[in-house]
Structure 1
């Protein structure tokens, strides 16, 4: 009986350790408001990651489309995430995001390494990352909400 109890104890310990490690997934840093973006809030969802800059004219016309897309995605296990191409931080990032009226999360820390996104020298650029964190598509140029929805549906096999 003692041997069975030890095996059970080891199994429970392994499960608890696994759950703790899962809960400790690396967070995404801060958003444009200085709030922490947790791994729990984004992991397991499809992500539409858009790079933008203040000097990019097409970015200005694309942002309202991305705002609309974020609203549409709320019930679809998907999110729009912004990244400032010029790596603005703190108050500078907040000011720039506010000037564009960005209503989705803008990460202060570039997630390119996390998702193995290729460096791009042209803006705007949008990456679609699946729920497993795998890059599925790279779209260069201005996007629309309807066009991005169509890409998501196709990639999801819907």
Structure 2
């Protein structure tokens, strides 16, 4: 009897080990499946890329007419739809008292020259400063970009401008591809423009 009891005890112990091993394996499998589920969940809800965010923000702020058709600049030229078709437009809202604007404006002029052969237009919209102040500032800074003064705020209202500087980039088909609030550096601005060039669309 003692040998039989010992054999049964060993058998029971082996069964317990087997059950314990199976339980541990099932627990490990469960943890692995939970981990995979979490990875899939966070992947599915991951935030959009930066430029995807820019496109969404730009699209959400578009008005029915994207280009500033009818804008009359300081030289007396009234810009029409034909002026913008097939070209990349950079529309910048600024003021002479705005520090980040003063950093960005020379870069905008450089970009206008750099990408002129690729059809890039840069237009400046000053947010209602006296004409003599605007003219003196641009002259002293050596800036020659076409500009207008938004005396009645219509352009700021139309494009929902709430901070300065605000730069809008339009593709040759009129889609707004970027809305940039604040000065974020030359590389950032260059990438926004290059994304809207005809060959990248």
Alignment TM-score > 0.5, same fold: yes
CA–CA distance in structure 2, aligned partners of residues 69 and 83 of structure 1: 17
Larger Rg: 2
| TM-aligned CA distance change 1:118 to 1:35, over 3 Å | same
CA–CA distance in structure 1, aligned partners of residues 174 and 111 of structure 2: 20
When the two chains are superposed, the root-mean-square deviation of aligned CA atoms in Å is 2.7
CA–CA distance in structure 2, aligned partners of residues 61 and 112 of structure 1: 21
**Tell me, which stretches of 5 or more residues in structure 1 are unaligned?**
1-25
The answer to whether residue 144 in structure 2 is matched with residue 96 in structure 1 is no
Contact 1:29–1:108 (CA<8 Å) still a contact in 2? no
Give 1 or 2: higher helix fraction: 2
Contact 2:170–2:196 (CA<8 Å) still a contact in 1? no
CA–CA distance in structure 2, aligned partners of residues 152 and 91 of structure 1: 31
CA–CA distance in structure 2, aligned partners of residues 37 and 73 of structure 1: 22
Instruction: Give how far 1:106 is off.
Output: 1.0
The number of equivalent residue pairs is 128
Other-structure match for 1:50:
92
Out of 71, 76, 79, the residue aligned to residue 28 of structure 1 is 71
CA–CA distance in structure 2, aligned partners of residues 35 and 53 of structure 1: 20
| TM-aligned CA distance change 1:144 to 1:35, over 3 Å | farther
CA–CA distance in structure 1, aligned partners of residues 145 and 183 of structure 2: 17
Out of 104, 107, 112, the residue aligned to residue 62 of structure 1 is 104
The answer to whether residue 135 in structure 2 is matched with residue 128 in structure 1 is no
CA–CA distance in structure 2, aligned partners of residues 112 and 84 of structure 1: 10
Q: TM-score, normalised by structure 2?
A: 0.53
Other-structure match for 1:106:
147
| TM-aligned CA distance change 1:88 to 1:46, over 3 Å | same
CA–CA distance in structure 2, aligned partners of residues 70 and 41 of structure 1: 19
